[in-house]
Amino acid sequence: MESAEIARRFLRFFEERGHTVVPSASLVAEDPTLLLVNAGMVPFKPYFLGQKKPPYPRAASVQKVMRTLDIDEVGKTTRHASFFQMLGNFSFGDYFKDKAIPYAWELLTTPEAQGGFGFSEDRLWVTVFHDDDEARDIWHKQVGVPLERIQRRGLADNYWHMGVPGPGGPCSEIYYDRGPEYGKEGGPVADENRYLEVWNNVFMQFQLSAVRTKIDFDIAGELPAKSVDTGMGLERMAAILQGVDNIYEIDTTYKILDRAAELTRSRYGRDHRADVSLRVVADHMRAGVMLVGDGVLPSNEGRGYVLRRMLRRAIRNLRLLGAGEERYMHELTATTLAVMGEQYPDLKSDAANIHTVIDAEETSFLGTLRTGTAIFDAAVEENKRKGVTVLAGGQAFQLHDTYGFPIDLTLEMASEQGLQVDEDGFRRLMNEQRQRAKADSAAKKTGNADVSVLGEMLDRAGRVDFLGYDHTVAEARVIGLLVDGASVPAAGAGTTVEVVLDRTPFYAEGGGQLADQGLIRSDASRVEITDVQSPFAGLIVHRGKVGDGEIRVGDPVQAEIDIERRRAISRSHTATHLVHRGFRNALGETAAQAGSENSPGRFRFDFTAAGAVPASVLRDVEDEVNAILINDLKVHAYHTSLNEARSMGALALFGEKYGDEVRIVEVGDYSRELCGGTHVASSGQLGLVKVLGESSIGAGVRRVEALVGVDAFRFLARESVLVAQLAEQLKTRREELPERVEGIVSRLRTAERELERLRSAQVLAVAGELAAGARDIGGVSVVTHRAPDGTSADDLRKLALDVRGRFPGDRAAMIVIAGVPADRPVVVAAVNDAGRVRGLKAGRLVGVAAKALGGGGGGKDDVAQGGGTRPESIGDALTSVTQAIQETLT
């Protein structure tokens, strides 16, 4: 039974029993306490906590899930995976153990021909929480499971929570006995390799506050209603129903693994090390494609870091399998899209964008591997010279943070060199970095407020009405105040405060559009609003400072936005839509929006692209967009269903999350996008759009910056004045300026080349003198020299090689030349064949000098180059090299 069929049967079973089938939410969690969705119940968390009223009493879903804590274990075992799918049925106070338990048993044991999964009852075992007699009795008395196949377990095994404050409760799990060939008898408590968990019934009863570990947490109280969260891992179920030993051999994963084996000419099952690499590639390709499909882009922090880490682990394991410099990620991405596309059709429509992002990351990392390996080699040489057998945690972290080296790659390379790595030091630095990133992210979304405080506020107040599409001023009531993250009844003059109203015209930052600014006034107070955020769907938080008086919870107020700022931002937002359409027309549908920022009079637009956009394309897009402005097309916004919007061809922001009902913004027949932002009434109100240029902001992502409206006119006016000044100074007409400037630049370059030739000749003129003045150290001719400041790095290298060439072949020679080409010092070392026979290596010695200069470097044994940040230490660097030569020779 294929994975897609397993999912269909599960959803059909529960739909027939009154459950609403809910599509999978994005892997990008709305919950600010989570980096990624890590459980099937995450999208329903507000319903369990009572923060929102559920739109249905019971639901069923197949939810995409990512577990980042398991990444290091992926491939080493056949049980760990970073991405998987959780089949779940949920009750929000509608039913509890009495129905959840029989439902699970019925679906598992109903014959396949009748729509079930066909498990033999005598091969199923059950576990319950140690004091849950109610669940035990239901299993035995109602379902008929023999007592000897019902086992009690403690917190570590039969209590579930998210790992963060939220809902939790005891659980009851169902295990499948795979037979004596997989382990010893005795049920799950004896051997979880033989007895494989297939279903987990979680009985949501309690609100957890502080969560320290899996078994150490505080219970704040009971949930508003007893609910059910049950989960069945699709991959694990597929392994059993498809008769394979592990999750890497099921249909969706094995096809990727098999393609990787084919590309690298490997064979799964023949060699443990190769098997581990193939499993890593298969798992991480699934995870990577799903993350990119949900709009995550590779970066060095947050979700982007998780994606980058997995893609780079996949690339690295392909190299271990023998891929070398070959690029196989495109092929593997295509395979992954094919096997996962049946369950997630959006992957097929986003295929071009997903390919672009992953291909670019592969190109970037292959270059990183070359650079990082050179840095690693230099660090190893330095450690060996000092007799140190442990690579410092800071060095491993630098390789990871600066050069993108996965820690397991550093560990493996160090092991090959007979070194260990200070993993504890590395993990400590990594944790510090993660905590900083997490704190920054949480602060942005919640203003450092306790998430539970905001949740309670949303629960108490209900959804805040946004009036900003039609109103710039509105009467409202204060329903909540926060100072330093804590709820307060009032806030006086001079206090920085966060204000929650029951209704507001203020637009909260989102969808690339900056927040509104303005005033909230009451009879007794005035608050200047500088930022507006929406930490939870339906909750809008105004941040500002109390200027006069005292604002209190319950006060009637008038909320008034800065109209001119709103109009300027709206012009930018509409312009972004037009530029998006223009680039798609010019470059194809692969030019998908990957982010934006709409500011007053200015906007930036990020999109996926394989390489730089030619200047001619930028001009064509700009001309096309401005033609739309001249035509003054009407801008129209309306709501419809997501399916209807897709059938109309409306563009969705790559990876954005949308509900069942969406808002469409149309600019005539030219542009149609899903968007919740504010816009102008007609395209003519934009006045003018001026594209300033484009640049790269990451692998596979380009950024265009542009001006709109008055800011664009002012920019062109300044440009016109500048052109007039140049024409006056150069005594030529405007239209002849390019040719005139090109001529001047050409003559200047010719003069610079001649000056460079003269400087080089002057530098090299001292080569004979340096060779003649070489010192003898242990039978080796040693030259150390500081070149005049301004000598280029290329000339330093030429001089070192010239001096080296002046010694006879049987005379060992070592030359080290240092200088300051600009503001940073550079050092070059060169050694001849006879010198290398004596044990001298240019790469090691240049590393010694570079360290004294506060930097690093490396290279081959015959010639190497490094640099640093302390030009005043060149003398110390040359002295340290001389000492290192003496130590080597003695």
Question: Which amino acids are annotated as binding site for Zn(2+), given as ranges?
Answer: 573, 577, 675, 679
Query: Do residues 471 and 556 touch, judged by C-beta distance below 8 A?
Result: no
Query: Do residues 477 and 558 touch, judged by C-beta distance below 8 A?
Result: no
Cβ count within 10 A of residue 24: 19
Q: What is the DSSP string of 203-227?
A: EEEEEEEEE-SSS-EEEEEEEEEEE
Residue whose structure tokens are 């507006």: 532
Cβ count within 10 A of residue 77: 13
Cβ-based burial of 728 (10 A; exposed 0-12, middle 13-18, buried ≥19) = exposed
Binding residues: 573, 577, 675, 679
Q: Of all helices (H) and strands (E), which one includes residue 786? A: strand 780-786
Task: Name the amino acid, one letter, at 423.
Answer: E
Q: Of all helices (H) and strands (E), which one includes residue 433? A: helix 423-446
Catalogue the long-range contacts made by 340-345 (C-beta closer than 8 Å, 24 or more residues apart).
340/252, 340/286, 340/289, 340/290, 342/4, 343/3, 343/4, 343/7, 343/62, 343/85, 344/24, 344/64, 344/290, 344/293
Phi, psi (deg, nearest 5) at residue 480: -170, 145
The tokens describing 310, both together, are 């997995």
- Integer Cα distance of 674 and 660 in angstroms: 12
- Integer Cα distance of 410 and 397 in angstroms: 10
Cβ-based burial of 423 (10 A; exposed 0-12, middle 13-18, buried ≥19) = middle
- Integer Cα distance of 115 and 702 in angstroms: 49
Judged by phi (left if over 0) then psi (alpha if -120 to 50, else beta), residue 460 lies in alpha
Query: Do residues 825 and 870 touch, judged by C-beta distance below 8 A?
Result: yes
Query: Do residues 189 and 178 touch, judged by C-beta distance below 8 A?
Result: no
- Integer Cα distance of 419 and 411 in angstroms: 9
- Integer Cα distance of 621 and 601 in angstroms: 19
First to last CA, the chain: 72
Query: Do residues 574 and 635 touch, judged by C-beta distance below 8 A?
Result: yes
Query: Do residues 601 and 574 touch, judged by C-beta distance below 8 A?
Result: no
Cβ-based burial of 705 (10 A; exposed 0-12, middle 13-18, buried ≥19) = middle
- Integer Cα distance of 20 and 157 in angstroms: 30
Q: Where are the beta strands (DSSP E) in 33-189?
A: 58-66, 83-91, 124-129, 150-153, 159-161, 166-177
The tokens describing 184, both together, are 């010893």
- Integer Cα distance of 534 and 457 in angstroms: 13
How many Cα atoms occupy the beta-carbon half-sphere of 134 within 13 Å?
9
